[in-house]
């Protein structure tokens, strides 16, 4: 299993809207693809401008198999909904070594 990890800076007043639109647009689309396992959205009670998105995939190959055109369309739709209210400030990928 691999994990896609994104840290996002968002306008604090729009954090809840960001979380809702992310679920409506991104999660709905990604969940249709083979290899999607689950997704978590973390919010910090002490930092209203931070959202962390954690997506679990069965394999890196399945994650990367999501067509670029689909990702671009969802990003365009998300930008249309949210405008310039967020920035991805960090992005990483991890391999799950062990689960308990």
**What CATH code is carried by the domain that includes residue 77?**
3.30.70.100
Q: Mapped to the 3 state alphabet, what secondary structure does 7-49 carry?
A: EEEECHHHHHHHHHHHHHHHHHHHCCCCCEEEEEEEEECCEEE
Q: Is residue 77 over pLDDT 90?
A: yes
Rounded to the nearest 10°, the torsion over CA 41, 22, 60, 58 is 60
* Section 39-47 average pLDDT: 96
Computed over every residue of the chain, the mean pLDDT equals 97
Domain that holds residue 71: 2-95
Q: Is residue 44 over pLDDT 90?
A: yes
pLDDT above 90: percentage of residues in the chain = 98
Look at residue 100 and tell me if it is in a domain.
Answer: no
Task: Report CA 24 to chain centroid distance, whole Å.
Answer: 11
Total number of domains constituting the chain:
1
Look at residue 42 and tell me if it is in a domain.
Answer: yes
């Amino acid at each position: 299993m691999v994990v896609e990890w994104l840290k996002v800076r968002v306008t604090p007043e729009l954090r809840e809207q960001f979380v809702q639109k992310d679920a409506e647009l991104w999660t709905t689309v990604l969940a249709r693809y083979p290899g999607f396992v689950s997704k978590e959205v973390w919010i910090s009670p002490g930092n209203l401008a931070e959202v962390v998105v954690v997506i679990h995939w069965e394999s890196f190959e399945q994650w990367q198999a999501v067509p670029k055109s689909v990702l671009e369309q969802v990003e365009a739709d998300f930008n249309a909904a949210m405008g310039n209210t967020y920035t991805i400030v960090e992005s990483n990928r991890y391999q799950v070594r062990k689960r308990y």
